[in-house]
Structure 1
Amino acid sequence: MLERKKLKSRTQVTFVLPEDTPDGPVSVVGDFNQWDPAAHPLQSRGDGTRAVSVSLPARSAHSFRYLAADDHWFDDDHADSHDGTNNRIHT
């Protein structure tokens, strides 16, 4: 799930997943963090979900995917679109 909060010239995007699906650590990786799995790991929110927030420029589009343990890449069903390989989010 994607949550958005409009700021002045930016959009705060929060990437949200269930706490245990998939098991183990998960990071959101994308063109906004040079596809670095260490940049944005999801953290438990205490409500049965885990999440991480990223501030992105307003009126922009970005590619992203999730990376879990054992090199398991997966998509977000709530992405704005897909470009064939990656999810896309439009701020």
Structure 2
Amino acid sequence: MLVRKQVKGRARITFVLPADTPPGPVSVVGDFNDWLPGVHPFEPRGDGTRAVSVVLPSKSVHSFRYLAADDHWFDEDHADGHDGTNGLLHT
């Protein structure tokens, strides 16, 4: 799930996943972090989910995916679109 909040010309995007699906560490990787795993890891929250937030320029488009343990790549079901390989995020 994606949660969006506009803040002074920028967009705060919070990526949210269930606490245990998939199991183990997960990070969001994309053009906004040079596709480097581990830069934006999901952290547990009190409501039983995991989340990570990034702040991006408003009115921009970004490619991203999730990376879990054992090199398991997967997509966000609620992405704004897909380019054939990656999810797209419109801020």
Bin for the TM-score computed over the shorter chain:
over 0.9
The Cα shift of 1:88 comes to 0.2
The Cα shift of 1:46 comes to 1.4
Distance 1:60 1:8 in 2: 14
**Match for residue 45 of structure 2?**
45
Task: Provide the identity percentage.
Answer: 73
Structure 1, gaps ≥5 residues long: none
The Cα shift of 1:15 comes to 0.3
**Match for residue 5 of structure 1?**
5
Structure 2, gaps ≥5 residues long: none
**Match for residue 86 of structure 1?**
86
Partner letter of residue 56 of structure 2? L
The Cα shift of 1:44 comes to 0.3
Distance 2:50 2:75 in 1: 16
Report how many residues are paired: 91
The Cα shift of 1:11 comes to 0.2
The Cα shift of 1:38 comes to 1.6
Structure 1 residue runs of 4 or more that deviate by more than 2 Å after TM superposition: none
Question: Could you report, residue by residue, the CA deviation over 1:56-80 in whole angstroms, capped at 9, with x for unpaired residues?
Answer: 0000000000000000000000000
Instruction: Give the aligned CA root-mean-square deviation in angstroms.
Output: 0.4
Q: TM-score, normalised by structure 2?
A: 0.99
**Match for residue 56 of structure 1?**
56
